Structure 1
Amino acid sequence: MFNFKTLAMRHPLNNIVAEIQKQERKLSAETSSFIDEAYKMTVYLQELLCSVKDDVIKEGFSSKDEEIHFFKQVKPNILGKLIYYNKVYRIETACPVDNGNLHQNYFALQLRDLKQEYQEHICNSEFYRYYRSGRTDRDGHYFTLGNINYYDGLNSFVFEIDPKFSTYFDYKVAKIIANELIYNYLTTKLSPEQNPDVLLQQEETKDFFWTQTKNALIELIYALYACDAISHGKIGIRKISMVFQILFRISLNDIHNSFHRMKTRAGSRTLFLDQLKYSLEEYMDREDNL
């Protein structure tokens, strides 16, 4: 087991993010469903957060800058992912059917509720504008212990937090991170035609559509993800999938189950990638003979 304190407090943020991504990759390969993966990630992140909390309360911080970094960057990234996976587990286990109108309406309703929460409680707040602008001038107030101002009329959950391990605003950052992840998850669940944020469905892209099988596209997506070909591996498989689904106007449904079936199919497990290699080499040979 890695040293939580060293990872979370003494090293840059990307170390702890990399450790979480490593666990995500491991569980993605081992679990048979997204429900199982979400549950195991929830347990893992809860244990991680508890371990970090024990170290913080026991050891404290060596400087104010370290304290700000922890509550602005490190803890929210752990807690944000924890909120996300717990929410996904709850959504998936309550989903009525695997496909059809009821399935689509269910996820559309979840997306509507998420957007309503964002509009009512997040986007119009002074803190949200501060955080999104990248400002740092009030970090000492927002991200150090002992500065909770009850005169501001804060949300009631503030009375349940541990003042030794929360500045109140670290939770707000975690919620922003979680909501973005949940939004990306929900948009992949909806078919591209119903996607409320169709970034690429412009007139100039109307002729783009996928002509191979859905499994072939899933195979390609996982290959790009596995070799860190997109954003140095920092973008999750579902976000990559969402972009491809929007671009090609295709719904891939549960890509995890499809991927796990590929791992156990007879013959080559990479049928499409094998065909890609063969087709490209054949094309190169034709070019050489022209």
Structure 2
Amino acid sequence: MKSLNSIISEIRIKEDQVSRETLHLIDETYQMTLYLKELLNTTREHILKEGFKNETDEIEFFRNIKPQILGQLIYYNEIFRIETICPVKDGKMYQKFFMGQLQQLKQEFKEHIYSSHFYRYYRSGRSDRDQEYFIRGKINYKDGLNSYVFEIDHQFSTYYDSKVARILANERIYNYLTTKINPEESTCLLLHSAESTKDIFWTDSKNALIELIYALHASGVISHGKIGIRKITLVFQILFRIPLGDVHHSFHRMKDRAGTRTSFLDHLKSSLEQYMDKGL
């Protein structure tokens, strides 16, 4: 069985590939949903055929590896659903729609996840009950579990691995919804009250910043190239307090530019060389 890092890396590579090949978020989420569904199916086939070497491997799989795949699948499927039923692109109706989706997510989280003993166990990083939660066939029905426990594939689930997947998915969905509702506010809130960054802001065009972001991503110089465009974009939005919107669409337009396609990077190179010459 592949390691957690290998699975995460594989998914991120696929995310980057799909984001480059699609023009719209709906297309991207649909392609990722198909990919992750197939990845989950092939993983299930492998587990049923090969099994686990020991309980440690089984716990690692159901606590960490499977939830990464299933959590991403839940996330992309939910974003596809939301994007395809969104009534308009802007305006009060647009905001009201996404605020309703956010309220629905919060209510679901409160009712099914937040108040559970398992959520506190998982969030605290405990492992003393892992054999109970992440070994197949050890479900304790006295805990008052949700009825869907009777519908799960007991050969490929411990019930709690889906709980972890939902926790991971909800975090991403929450970030997506808050950004949709108010991009500027959502990125600034992540800064909390960091006074030291108040005087830092981007003074060139948004396209220039997007060009820089893609260059950093393509060169693999951030986190050894193991994080995707979305996360790098979020960092720059937070740092400079600037909403960048649909960066993938902007990038696709850059690829069709007449003349040089890297005008901002060319400008940076020229500026740096001039600055170096001043010190001679």
Give me the TM-score of the superposition, normalised by structure 1. Answer: 0.88
Q: What whole-Å deviation, never above 9, does each CA across 1:70-126 have from its counterpart, x for those lacking one? A: 111111111011001101111111222223333333333323332333333323322
For these two proteins, the number of residue pairs brought into alignment is 279
Find the counterpart in structure 1 of residue 235 from structure 2.
Answer: 243
Distance 1:240 1:106 in 2: 27
Is residue 71 of structure 2 the alignment partner of residue 73 of structure 1? no
The amino acid that maps onto 2:237 is Q
For 1:56-205, what aligned pairs fall within 5 Å after superposition? 56-195=47-186, 198-200=189-191, 202=193, 203-205=195-197
The amino acid that maps onto 1:145 is R
Find the counterpart in structure 1 of residue 272 from structure 2.
Answer: 280
Distance 2:124 2:149 in 1: 25
The amino acid that maps onto 1:184 is N
Structure 1: which 4+ aligned runs deviate by more than 4 Å?
A: none
Q: What whole-Å deviation, never above 9, does each CA across 1:7-65 have from its counterpart, x for those lacking one? A: xx2x3211111111111111111112111111011001101111111222233222111
Distance 1:280 1:38 in 2: 39
Q: What whole-Å deviation, never above 9, does each CA across 1:197-236 have from its counterpart, x for those lacking one? A: 7122644433332221111111122222222333333333
Is residue 45 of structure 2 the alignment partner of residue 54 of structure 1? yes
Q: Contact (CA 8 Å) 2:15, 2:228: kept in 1 or not?
A: no
Query: How well do the aligned residues superpose, as a CA RMSD in angstroms?
Result: 2.0
Distance 2:51 2:196 in 1: 56
Q: Contact (CA 8 Å) 1:185, 1:238: kept in 2 or not?
A: no
Distance 2:151 2:216 in 1: 43
The amino acid that maps onto 1:134 is G
Q: Contact (CA 8 Å) 1:188, 1:241: kept in 2 or not?
A: no
Structure 1 residues not aligned, in runs of 5+: 1-8
- Is 179-188 or 34-43 further displaced after alignment? 179-188
Identical positions, percent: 62
Structure 1 residue 196 displacement after superposition: 8.0
SS in 2 for 1:122: helix
Q: What whole-Å deviation, never above 9, does each CA across 1:217-261 have from its counterpart, x for those lacking one? A: 111222222223333333332222223223323222211111111
The amino acid that maps onto 1:222 is Y
Distance 2:154 2:171 in 1: 26
Q: Contact (CA 8 Å) 1:64, 1:144: kept in 2 or not?
A: yes
Structure 1 residue 283 displacement after superposition: 1.5
Q: Structure 1 residues 259 and 105 mapped into 2: Cα distance closer, same or farther (>3 Å)? A: farther
Match of 1:266 among 245, 253, 258: 258
- Is 24-33 or 51-60 further displaced after alignment? 51-60
